[in-house]
Amino acid sequence: MAPQANQVEDRVKITLTPTEETLMAPLIARARDAESPQPVLNDVYSLQILSRIDHDVEKFQIDDNKATMHTLRALCLDKWTAEFLATNPHSTVVHLGCGLDSRWQRLQPDLCTVRWIDVDLPDVIELRRKLIPNPEGEYSLLAADAAEEAWLKQIPADRPTVVICQGLLMYLEEEVGKDLIQRLVEHFKSGQLIIDCIGTIALSLQDRIEVIRATGSSFKWGIDEPKTLESLHPQLKMLECLGPADLTGFSRMPLGTRLMLSTYSYLPWFRYLSSYVRFIF
């Protein structure tokens, strides 16, 4: 995936904190998938973005299998978001911890009726501005720390809202993450919350995870039973919760991986080693 010689002149060098740098792993995975003969997500936008970046991509050690697993997760969250937009054509999308994700490009929402807001830390938003052009319509970037309170007041709560948190909650302290979820539900009143999370066993195994080793970041919050998050607000109800083996397209993973994860899904402490969940509120 190295850029061609005629592409290097405008490449952007990345200087981010360890947690911010984790945005590179999903970008590399989506780009690798897009180059494969039978892509899962076919996110060609990720290839364009990656070609503009001057960074060591090899240290993330993302092979074809890891790229497939990541894109299966992204596909699941894309599908849920698309379903929400299909039934709520006049709505708001808040993509928290958007990184360099090209989700709005993949889904192509009607930005005349959909308000789409990508939110991330200031340095990430600055990088995003350099690499990804903004579309016409009701699209905006918001530079903010999701753990703080002020940013949420800037977003109108006049429409049904879907909030997407992919690759975010596990990097927050537990109380910070719980407070964030409570504030989101309280502010927007009606909509859906789409998240991914890791189990507590992943916290003890994180030194084996490539993105953690590559960046020096760390996971802080593990959730073994995602349904327990319903207790954070009386309006919050879980609609669906999938483990890795439940993802559409999981049959594309190697046989050994399928057997291992399918077997682990029967063990309580491994059932939600990672999980993909949507709530209604």
Regarding whether 163 and 262 lie in a shared domain, the answer is yes
Residues 27 and 150 in one domain: no
Written as tens digits, the pLDDT of the chain (281 aa) is: 544 444 455 899 999 999 999 999 999 999 999 999 999 999 999 999 999 999 999 999 999 999 999 999 999 999 999 999 999 999 999 999 999 999 999 999 999 999 999 999 999 999 999 999 999 999 999 999 999 999 999 999 999 999 999 999 999 999 999 999 999 999 999 999 999 999 999 999 999 999 999 999 999 999 999 999 999 999 999 999 999 889 998 888 777 777 777 676 666 666 668 999 999 99
Q: In which residue are the tokens 């960074």 written?
A: 55
Q: Is residue 187 part of a domain?
A: yes
Asked if 100 and 132 count as a contact pair (C-beta separation under 8 A), the reply is yes
Structure tokens at 88: 């709520």
With CA atoms as reference, report the closest residue to 160 among 139, 187, 181, 182: 187
pTM of the model as a whole: 0.92
90 and 157 housed in the same domain: yes
10 Å Cβ neighbour count for 2? Answer: 10
Phi, psi of 186 (to 5 degrees): -65, -40
* In a shared domain, residues 78 and 48: no
Tell whether 221 is covered by a domain.
Answer: yes
Domain that holds residue 143: 73-280
Domain count, the chain: 2
Q: How many helices (H) and strands (E) does the chain have?
A: 10, 9
Residue pair 96/163 in contact (Cβ under 8 Å)? The answer is: yes
The structure tokens listed for 137 are 């319509």
If asked whether residues 160 and 202 sit together in one domain, one would say yes
SS (H, E, C) 84-114: HHHHCCCEEEEEECCCCCCHHHHHCCCCCCE
CATH number at residue 222: 3.40.50.150
